[in-house]
């Protein structure tokens, strides 16, 4: 019986050591619709037509217009959305705001930048904020013409 206890002790020590060497992970959850403004859908796209995103993509060539289209939920009342466009060097290319007043709790906003033929190639970022709080960011890539 004591050999079984010793074996169990050694085995648990090996498992403990093995667990310490794992990379780790995690998870979490939240209940959407609990009051905070939320993005229902968001897309980087080539244009907006009839308040819908068109040419949804994350790759653009220099000298193209790039749109960020956002569908919002939980936004009853007055809100201000701010989008900061960052080039591959993290320099601010454009800083835009749009205010709205929603009676239904839903709204659509869109923003765009006109890039030039000399726009830096690489990974660009559009940071989204609402009412002064960061929400998320969208990445897209700019390539040479």
pLDDT in tens, 49-103: 999 999 999 999 999 999 999 999 999 999 999 999 999 999 999 999 999 999 9
Asked whether residue 127 is assigned to any structural domain, the reply reads: yes
Residue at 50 is within a domain: yes
Other C-beta atoms within 10 Å of 66: how many?
Answer: 22
Q: Is residue 65 part of a domain?
A: yes
Instruction: Decide if 49 is inside a domain.
Output: yes
Q: What is the domain-level CATH number for residue 80?
A: 2.60.40.1930
Task: Report how many domains make up the chain.
Answer: 1
Has residue 20 been placed in a domain? no
Let me know: does 18 contact 55? Beta carbons within 8 Å: no
What are the φ and ψ backbone dihedral angles of 25, each rounded to 5 degrees?
180, -165
Torsion of CA 58, 43, 115, 92, to 10 degrees: -100
Q: What is the pLDDT of residue 19?
A: 45
Say if 6 falls within a structural domain. no
Q: Is the pLDDT of residue 21 over 90?
A: no
Does the residue 32 lie in any domain? no
Domain extent at residue 94? 39-143
pLDDT digits (tens, 9 = 90+) for 108-123: 999 999 999 999 999 9
Give the pair of three-digit tokens for residue 73. Answer: 């939920």
- The answer to whether position 66 is within a domain reads yes
């Amino acid at each position: 019986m004591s050999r079984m206890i010793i074996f169990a002790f050694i085995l648990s020590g090996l498992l403990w050591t093995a667990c310490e060497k794992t990379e780790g992970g995690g998870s979490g959850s939240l209940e959407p619709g609990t009051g905070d403004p939320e993005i229902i859908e968001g897309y980087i796209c080539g244009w907006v037509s009839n308040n819908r995103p068109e040419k949804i993509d994350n790759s653009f060539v220099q000298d193209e217009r790039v749109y960020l289209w956002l569908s919002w939920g939980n936004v009853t009342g007055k809100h201000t959305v701010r989008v900061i466009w960052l080039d591959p060097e993290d320099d601010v290319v454009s800083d835009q705001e749009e205010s709205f007043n929603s009676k239904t709790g839903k709204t659509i906003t869109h923003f765009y930048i006109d890039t030039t033929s000399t726009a830096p190639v690489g990974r660009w970022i559009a940071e989204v904020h609402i009412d002064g709080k960061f929400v998320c960011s969208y990445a897209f890539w700019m390539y040479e013409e």
